[in-house]
Structures are given as C-alpha cells and as structure tokens.
Amino acid sequence: MEPMSLPGLERLLDVCERLNLGLKISPPAREPLRAGSLLEGHPLDPLLASVYARLGQVVFAYKLMGLSLMQSNDDEHRLEANNKLWRENHWDELGMPVIVFAGEVYTYATVPSLADEWGRQPVVEVNTYELDGLHVLPVASNVDRFFDNYSRYLEAVVASPRYQEAGENDLHFPWHMGELLARDERLVELLRAGRFEPLMKNVDEQERQWAAKVMGARE
C-alpha cells in the first residue's frame, strides 16, 4: 500500500518551525511498520503507518512541553512496548482495544473498532491519572486530522494574550479547542451516533458538557 499523504502532519511540522516552538525528530526504521500490520493483534492505522515510514520519533513544540510521538525505529520500540502495557493494564477497563501512539500530559490513541472504510481510525485522549477510572475524550476523526488540530492549537497558543505578554501558555489541548473539534464532521458524526459512549463511561459533568458543545448540542 502506498503511504497516505499527511497534510496535517506537514502543517504541524511547519507550524513548529515557523513559530520556533522546537522540533526533535529521529529517523524512521529501515523497515518501518506497514499499514495493517498487527500491534497487539490489531491493525495499525494506515495514516500512522505513513507517519512511521517518515519519522521514527518526534517531539513537537518541546519548548512548550509539547506533544511527542512514541518512538518506533531501529533504536527503540516504545510504541510496541507501550501497547503491550496498555493491553495488559487498560483494555479490560476501556472495554475495547485502543492503540496508543502519542502523548502530552495524557495519552493519545486510535480506536481500531471505529475505523472508516479506508481503515482510518479516530483518535481519543485517555487520562489515566484520575482515581475513579480512565477518562476518555474524542479528539479527531483520524490521525492526520489530529495533527492538523494540534497545529491550530499551537497557533492559538502563540496568538493568545498570555503568551504574547509573558511567554506563558494557559490553553490546553483539546480542552480549549472545542470549536475547532466541532468542525471535524466525521468526529461529530461518530459522537452523535454514540460510538464513543462505551469509552466515555467515567466522564464527569464538565467533560460531558464539553462533548455536548463539540457535538453542537444545546446546553
């Protein structure tokens, strides 16, 4: 399968460079993971395979404590090791498999069972810190859209008054980017159809209201 094009990833790389937010990149494996190859028994998202064909590991916007893609190349197999841990520790509670691939404070994962006709899986955020269980929020309809969203988040951070005055970031992804996520039609479609409901068992009232706003529901 030809690698899929990644305009969202390109945009994110460009934003990090243009706004001087920092980028750390490691080269890909000589034989990178292919689309459809199995990670803990589930197919790797084709967009993610395209990413790993290009890059072995990235830290985006490290000057802001940014987003990092889990390493998978000839030096380290953290992507594979982390997914093994997640299968052992979290899949039961989640009720379905997820494939983790990136993280900020919380972790980002694709959901194999919600893939579209091209095999592209939506992305969710999983918060493993809370004492009442895993908190999951939907974030993007596919991996490349996720990168595109994140690039726009970074632009919003840099344009914010707080950052302009004092170099401080008081915006969070995806928490403060609800309106941006609401423009992702397929994401909204999946949300409205209740496809994320089984994953969102532990969301609190504040998170539920946030999701409602993304869906465009009345409060």
Measured between alpha carbons, how far is 74 from 194 in angstroms, rounded to an integer? 40
Measured between alpha carbons, how far is 193 from 138 in angstroms, rounded to an integer? 13
Site residues for other proteins, window 109-148 (CB under 8 A)?
128-133, 135
Between residues 81 and 193, which has the closer beta carbon with respect to other proteins?
Answer: 81
CB of 2 to other proteins, least distance (A): 30
CB of 51 to other proteins, least distance (A): 16
| Binding pattern for the stretch 97-116 against other proteins, x by CB under 8 A and - elsewhere | -----xxxxxx---------
Stretch that binds other proteins, among 4-12, 67-75, 143-151, 184-192 (CB under 8 A): 67-75
Residue with tokens 């302009």: 164
CB of 23 to other proteins, least distance (A): 11
CB of 169 to other proteins, least distance (A): 8
Q: Please report whether residue 167 would count as binding other proteins according to CB under 8 A.
A: yes
- Residue from 5, 18, 20, 24 binding other proteins (CB under 8 A): 24
Between residues 17 and 204, which has the closer beta carbon with respect to other proteins?
Answer: 204
Judged by the rule CB under 8 A, the positions of this chain that interact with other proteins are 24, 57, 59, 62, 65-68, 70-71, 78, 82, 85, 89-90, 102-107, 128-133, 135, 162, 165-168, 170, 172, 175, 204, 206-207
